[in-house]
Amino acid sequence: MLVKMGELQAEDNLDVSSDLPGKAGIVDGRLIVEEPVGNGAWPVIIPCEGVKVFVNGEPVSRPFVVETAADVSFHVLDQKPQSAYEILLSPDKMKVTLRTRFVKGMEFKLCDREPAQKLKLKTEPVRELQPQALDFRQVLKEIQDLKIRTRIDLEALASACRNLEDVEAVIAEGIPAQPPVHGRIERVWELQAQDAEESSEEERVDHRERNRILSVDAGDVLAHWHPPIPGKPGRNVFGQLVQPPEPKNAALRAGRGVKLVSGGTVAVAEKAGRPVIRGNVVSVSPQMIIEGNVDLKTGNIRFKGDVVVFGSVCESMEIDAGGQVEVMGDVCQAQITAGADVIVKGKVISSSISAGQHLVGLFRSLALVKKVIPELYKLSAACAQLQQHPNFSTKDLSDSGAGYLIKLLLEMRFPGIPKSFAKLGEILANINCELQEEEFSDLIARMRGIAKCFVDGGPLTITSREALDAMGNDLQHLAEEMVKYLEYPANITASYCQNATLEATGDIAITGSLAYGSDMVAGGSIEIAGDCRCGTYQAKQTIRVGTAGSKGIGKTYFSVPEGGTITAKQFYPGVRLKIGSDLRVINSMWYDHTFRELDSLSAEAANG
Amino acid sequence: MLSVRLEKDVPDVVVSLSGNLDMMTGEVLQETIKSLDSAQVHSLTFSIGGLDFIDSTGVGQLLKYYKRCAAKDICFRIENDNPEIEEILKIIGIRELVES
């Protein structure tokens, strides 16, 4: 500001050096104020957090000019100690817990400050304030108000209330249900096979003693069933009964070729064959033994059970078996299709082998069934909603059934259901049950029956919502059965493989020196002990080979989905790897490496 | 009992329904629709706010007309200010096909 000299009065003091600012300070927690001299600035107090400031009894939160100390009063705020608790009931109502929280407080005072024109208030801690113990009676009353029937641990409660520590103390507990002992199936034949292996010194071709071809004779004990022991119910903290889970393996079931004796606790073979256990069903797969080669003399083999060939499978011959196929010799320019494992002790040359092809269809069916079951329940719920609607007339339903209503709902609101069932019907139609076990054929037939009810005019045959629910439940049960079948994927094992096509729902293993120019697709893993040159090798899990590729010009291609791995002792340049959607070609030698992702090859390409 | 009233004639037909549309009364509606010269129909609107009850046959009948209209490229609508009946249409899923 510009001050004109002429504007000043004669008595105005122009000696600025005599102006002194006023000051405010804190001494022993009390405010002192010095007034300014002349035109000196008046003292200003700047409040801070934790202190309530009053000027003439009015609260002030912003900086203010102070005239006299008597106008101003302070109230220093302390941090109060806290004692808090929560009573927690576990979701299963089996436990009541007391959660305590104690927080210490702090007493503060105003800091002494040298007098200054601008006094910024500040506080400092003086001492800790201890939290109080919880009121035992009050906490106990709250717990009792929950109407808990089990014993309240008063000692634990008192300790938690008293100890001023953060704890989660269990105050009351229910009596847990005693879990059941699940039923157990003891496989006797496996023990016998082990015994036979240990004791036999020379090879004998006898059904009982050939442990390499696991088989049993009529009358042999296959399995003992140790029945489940049900659990005992418990009680929750409110005294309500808590049921234990149902025990598994509630019964032993006899499949094909098996009879249950001793009150259903012992499974005995009714005929010779290979024992098979799937879930709680024990069966005997019949065996066809070919003592020599499969050739023009024997003709093609089509058999519902297992096929064992002591010789080789010769040119242009076919084996189609519902069960396992075991070939002691080679398979040359031939074809083997099996419902279970295929084991070739010799070489597979220019041949095609498929293991568990029917399971592929079953796997695809299961995916559809799992998708459609919740939709069926929604359809049923929509039916119920309509049937209970006050403005929806149901007389036509009682006359001619719920089929027409279900068809309408399928057409308009749930079009995905008939589509899924149509697709399911197509897949099921392509599953060849001719050589499969009766249980499997029955499973497929039941699914086909349900699928039919939801395509074209099928829904009109559904008589009621209850029938619809029954189909949903049936489908759920069938899905569980399907899972049991899929727990036993079919594997292929051979010692050598050349220009062959191998497809297995499980693993493929080549145990000898070479797999050459072959196409392999495995639902599990591929393991090739020796060299793997040319061809395509696809696995759902892992691929492990000795040497991948060669110096030659043939292309070797390995593929696994994301999360899968490809391992080899040596990778030759030119080998193609695909992990997930990432496809790369190896440019240099790699040794003892497992590819989990192909970024390392990007680095190789960049360096190269 | 179903009351069917032809509110507007061809080309933009509006048919008003009241009472019960069910398996017993559907024929009345059928006669009205039959009497229309379909070649001259540009749009067909059912006004169903006056319905007290409907059953699956009634809904099916409406759906049948919708399909026929769709096949001939005729605009099809169901107008309704009755929330109870609207709820039924929604549960069945007809509202996913037919606009109001």
pLDDT digits (tens, 9 = 90+) for A384-412: 999 999 999 888 777 778 899 999 999 99
Give residue A19's pLDDT: 86
Neighbouring C-beta atoms of residue A33, cutoff 10 Å = 20
Neighbouring C-beta atoms of residue A250, cutoff 10 Å = 13
Q: Flag if B56 and A396 touch (Cβ within 8 Å).
A: yes
> Which residue of A lies nearest to B92 if distances are taken between CA atoms?
A409
> Which residue of B lies nearest to A411 if distances are taken between CA atoms?
B93
**From the CA of A378, how many Å to the nearest CA of chain B?**
11
Nearest to A396 among B22, B85, B93 (CB): B22
Selected residue with higher pLDDT from A433 and A343: A343
Q: Flag if B84 and A389 touch (Cβ within 8 Å).
A: yes
Q: Does A479 touch chain B (CB under 8 A)?
A: no
Element (H, E) at A375: helix A357-387
* Cis peptide upstream of residue A63 (ω within 30 degrees of 0): no
Residue A514 has pLDDT above 90, yes or no: yes
Residue A191 has pLDDT above 60, yes or no: no
Contact residues of B toward A, CB < 8 A: 20, 22-23, 51-60, 63, 84-85, 87-88, 91-94, 96-97
Give residue A15's pLDDT: 53
Structural tokens at position A571: 């990778």
Q: Flag if B92 and A390 touch (Cβ within 8 Å).
A: no
d(CA A77, CA A171) in angstroms, rounded, equals: 37
Q: Which CATH class is domain A302-356+490-506?
A: mainly beta
d(CA A274, CA A252) in angstroms, rounded, equals: 18
Q: What is the mean pLDDT of chain A?
A: 87
DSSP per position, A99-122 = EEEEE-EEEEEEPPEEEESEEE--
- DSSP-derived letter for residue A499 is S
**From the CA of A386, how many Å to the nearest CA of chain B?**
7
Give residue A520's pLDDT: 96
Which of A:89-118 have CB within 8 Å of B? Answer: none
Q: What angle do CA A503, A506, A508 make, to 5 degrees?
A: 60
Nearest to A111 by CA among A120, A100, A101: A120
> Which residue of A lies nearest to B23 if distances are taken between CA atoms?
A396
Q: In the predicted model, what is the mean pLDDT of residues B6-27?
A: 90
Residue A601 has pLDDT above 70, yes or no: no
Q: Flag if A393 and B53 touch (Cβ within 8 Å).
A: yes
Question: What percent of chain A has a predicted confidence (pLDDT) above 70?
Answer: 91
**From the CA of A458, how many Å to the nearest CA of chain B?**
17
- DSSP-derived letter for residue A6 is G
Q: Which chain B residues contact residue A388 at CB under 8 A? A: none
Residue with tokens 């504007």: A7
Selected residue with higher pLDDT from A509 and A485: A509
Tens of pLDDT, residue by residue over A115-140, are 999 999 999 999 999 999 999 999 99
Give residue A440's pLDDT: 85
Q: Which chain B residues contact residue A392 at CB under 8 A? A: 53-55, 88
Q: Does A214 touch chain B (CB under 8 A)?
A: no
How many angstroms separate the most distant Cα atoms in chain B? 34
Lowest mean pLDDT among A24-28, A40-44, A112-116, A201-205: A201-205
**From the CA of B67, how many Å to the nearest CA of chain A?**
12
Q: Which of B17, B56, B59, B85 is best to mutate for the A interface (most A CBs within 10 A)?
A: B56
d(CA A114, CA B82) in angstroms, rounded, equals: 82
Residue A225 has pLDDT above 80, yes or no: yes
d(CA A54, CA A223) in angstroms, rounded, equals: 91
Q: What angle do CA A111, A115, A116 make, to 5 degrees?
A: 110
Element (H, E) at A220: none
Tens of pLDDT, residue by residue over A534-570, are 999 999 999 999 999 998 778 999 999 999 999 999 9
Question: What percent of chain A has a predicted confidence (pLDDT) above 90?
Answer: 64
ipTM of the complex: 0.89
Q: How many domains does chain B have?
A: 1
What residues does A55 pair with on adjacent strands? Answer: A58, A72
Structural tokens at position A379: 């359809």
Q: Does A57 touch chain B (CB under 8 A)?
A: no
Size of interface A-B (CB pairs under 8 A): 65
> Which residue of B lies nearest to A381 if distances are taken between CA atoms?
B91
d(CA A560, CA A577) in angstroms, rounded, equals: 8
Nearest to B23 among A389, A396, A414 (CB): A396
Q: In the predicted model, what is the mean pLDDT of residues A148-158?
A: 92
Q: Which of A380, A397, A408 is best to mutate for the B interface (most B CBs within 10 A)?
A: A408
Q: Does A412 touch chain B (CB under 8 A)?
A: yes
d(CA A196, CA A188) in angstroms, rounded, equals: 12
Residue B72 has pLDDT above 60, yes or no: yes
Nearest to B59 among A385, A390, A408 (CB): A408
**From the CA of B34, how many Å to the nearest CA of chain A?**
23
Q: Which chain B residues contact residue A393 at CB under 8 A? A: 20, 22, 53-55, 58
Q: Flag if A391 and B57 touch (Cβ within 8 Å).
A: no
> Which residue of A lies nearest to B90 if distances are taken between CA atoms?
A413
Structural domain that includes position B15: 2-96
Q: Does A397 touch chain B (CB under 8 A)?
A: yes
Q: Give burial (CB, 10 Å; 0-12/13-18/19+) of A394.
A: middle
Q: Do residues A354 and A519 lie in contact, with contact meaning Cβ atoms separated by under 8 Å?
A: no
Give residue B1's pLDDT: 86
Which range in A27-31, A192-196, A522-526, B8-12 is most confidently predicted, on average pLDDT? Answer: A522-526
Q: Using CA of residue B71, residue B75, residue B81, residue B83, what is the dihedral sign?
A: positive
Give residue A568's pLDDT: 96
pLDDT band at A274 (very low <50, low <70, confident <90, very high): confident
Q: Which chain B residues contact residue A413 at CB under 8 A? A: 91-93, 96
Nearest to A47 by CA among A68, A28, A27, A24: A24
Q: Do residues A301 and A321 lie in contact, with contact meaning Cβ atoms separated by under 8 Å?
A: yes
Residue A193 has pLDDT above 70, yes or no: no
Tens of pLDDT, residue by residue over A12-36, are 444 556 889 999 999 988 999 999 9
Q: Do residues A100 and A72 lie in contact, with contact meaning Cβ atoms separated by under 8 Å?
A: no
Tens of pLDDT, residue by residue over A313-353, are 999 999 999 889 999 999 999 999 998 999 999 999 999 99
Q: Which chain B residues contact residue A387 at CB under 8 A? A: none
> Which residue of A lies nearest to B66 if distances are taken between CA atoms?
A412
Angle between helices A357-387 and A438-452 (to 10 degrees): 40
Selected residue with higher pLDDT from A527 and A225: A527
Lowest mean pLDDT among A401-410, A480-489, A595-604: A595-604
Tens of pLDDT, residue by residue over A232-266, are 999 999 999 999 988 876 678 888 889 999 988 99
